[in-house]
Structure 1
């Protein structure tokens, strides 16, 4: 019998970040230590169909090899995953992947998994709830307001009046539940604001409007569970007007400076604030925390936390840890260990409950 740990890799999904997820899966499969782990790829296609591929023991050369169909493979018995794998590594980005829904399912079938649990994932995905928690924790952030799609459909003129009065222009308009900068616009005037609100509402029933903060975009990685570590600080220098989907995945105008050229005291403050944000949302495993630094006023503002950040070797999160001395394969290894550790900690609660029922 093999002593290798069996890892179920769930990827794909129905969100607009499907392709990002497949590329992440390719990177993880090729980097994981094959002497220690067996990888079972479980693909969710754009229609939500689950397809289980074969156990992978070799290098995959192209993402197309990971887009399985039921013509060639089978639908997995997902309710028996806890009998099939030792741990699940979910690398689905966006809704139905990093928003707590998949995490809740994995909790129900009692299988260890990498990353934050239901609470941290769902709050981290919903930018409005995330900012509410940040505010309650005393973390510095810019002004914001949120609206439902139904409100925008019936009352957009009054809403725009309120935004101009309370937030001001320019401002950023975003879907509340979406990742990879999908659906984001920078509104500079009244017409642009109305267009941005309608555009964001195409992606989610809830829209958030954030005040424009003039500052440098800094990011830091968090790794661990109850006593997490933080990485070096990185800076995004975008040739686009802001770091949108185009700049993130398609443009050659974006530069990632790792480590960022910032004063030591800024790094120290970011490490403290990022850890506070991670713990405030009850996150675990991994997160990337994004900030704006107003260099003239020396003020840091937390922008958001991403509980399942881009995870190819060329994504910001792994690159930050690589600079800190944690290589990609080791990062995967640590995350698997943290996922199992968190599961064992939760199982200790069940043992206590059983004692009370005796």
Structure 2
């Protein structure tokens, strides 16, 4: 298994703040104007995003559309926070901190031009188009900043309450569950052992941990369908196979079956981050908790999706490895491996079927 080191990190294109020469408005002044327009846009975020990205869906405080810039066909990697304006596409690593940068990204223009367009949509003046009362503007800016902080605190409090409720359900269900049947249809189809998974009725239960405590569960049905506990903590959490030791390689992968497969093949500890988007947050948490481990990202290789859109699993693994300053591995596909196979478990099952 060859471990690759990530290339030097390249961030997304900077959407438009250019250096100014003598005689042009000061960059700091333009930056203040852009921030003013970005802050004024937040109360209208729902309407603005419905106009810019009409195929999106609101989920809590976030808006999830497809990404027209990269020809995205299905929502899932591109999200915008309606309270702060921050946006991110983990599949392409494009991201920004406000709605002005988002509009610049969508229109392919500078942030200055995007701010001017957005000001027009909001019925506001921009730049030198008006004489501003700087005192009133600063008061308004501070008021909007306080409002954003209040909304964020409210969101955090609501999330913590849901996390606490979900962790209570997780501990109860985990205590009531018994050992997993080695012949459970999901385990049989994936050709993996039960390990520490438990079973309640026809469902397998995979424990999800945060800083050593059980905080949620993933329920796995006989047909492979998966559900998380509603409201459960997720970001930075993981399901661990094996035992972590200082100086020993620790793999971090997406799913349960992949984690079990790599653990069985290598004997090394493997953490399932439960999604491509959680590889980096879970990796950061593992590095914080176990600073002496040798972290390696094991990525899914979504080869069948490379036609027409990015290989999301591979890109997420490379990005996570770059940010974590560690190596990464991908499945080593034989020339005749079907394209729909994407992870280490797919490869192991396919190879096992050839024997």
Range class of TM-score, shorter chain: under 0.3
| Structure whose alpha-carbon radius of gyration is higher | 2
More strand by share: 1
TM-score normalised per structure 1: 0.24
Q: Tell me the TM-score normalized by structure 2.
A: 0.24
Compare relative contact order (CA 8 Å, sep 6+) and give the higher one, 1 or 2.
1
